[in-house]
Amino acid sequence: MPASWTPVTETKRLARPPRAVAAGGVISGYASLFGEVDLGGDLVVKGAFADSLRRQGPGRVRMLFQHDPSQPIGVWDEIREDSMGLRVRGRLALRVEKAREVWALIQDGAIDGLSIGFKTVHARRDARSGVRRLERVDLWEISVVTFPMLPEARIAAAKSSGTAFSPPRSGPPLLRSSARAAAEALFRS
C-alpha cells in the first residue's frame, strides 16, 4: 500500500423508514434496502454487507450524527441482513448532550433519516443505466441524518414515556426532485 494512500468513505441513505423509535432513544429500521437505486445512482445487492458484519459485528459499526466522526451519539445493538435489506437496532446515548439533542429533533420531526458510511470492496456499473451495483462493502458507520439519499428514508414512528406517536411533518412530503436538490446543495457547499 503506498504511503500516500488514504481510505475513502462513501455515504448512503436509508431506503425505507425505520420501524420505530422507542422510549430511551431506541431506534430500529433499515439502514439500506436491497434493489433500491439511491439518488447517487447506487444499488446495494443482497449479501453486500455479509463479510463486513461477520468480521466485525455491530459493536464496531459506529452510530454518528451527520457522518461526523467527532459526534458519536449511541451504539448499534443489532445489524443484520434480512430479505429486505440491512436491518438495524440501536440506542441513542442519552447521557451525551448531542444524543439528547438528536432525540429531541426526532421527536419533533425535524430529523428523521438514516445513512450508511462504507468503503466499496466490489461493485459493477451497468453500462446502459449507469447504476452502480454494490456487491461487497465494508460498513464503517450508520448515521442519523437530516437529508437521506432516498426520500422514503424516514423514521416512521416514535415512542416516549409509553406513548407512541408519529414524528410531525412540516409541509408537504419531500419529493424525489426536492430531496435530490437538497442533497446536491449539501455537496456543493
Phi, psi for 96 (deg, rounded to 5) = -95, 130
Which residue's C-alpha cell is 447521557?
95
Residue in 141, 160, 178, 184 annotated catalytic? 141
Q: Are 106 and 149 in contact (CB under 8 A)?
A: no
Q: What are 137's strand-pairing partners? A: 120
Residue in 32, 36, 67, 143 annotated catalytic? 67
Q: What is the distance between the alpha carbons of residues 9 and 98, in angstroms, rounded to a whole number? A: 23
70 is known as an active-site residue? no
122 is known as an active-site residue? no
Residue in 36, 115, 143, 152 annotated catalytic? 115
DSSP per position, 86-117: EEEEEEE-TTSHHHHHHHHHHHHTS--EEEEE
152 is known as an active-site residue? no
Residues acting as catalytic residues: 67, 115, 141
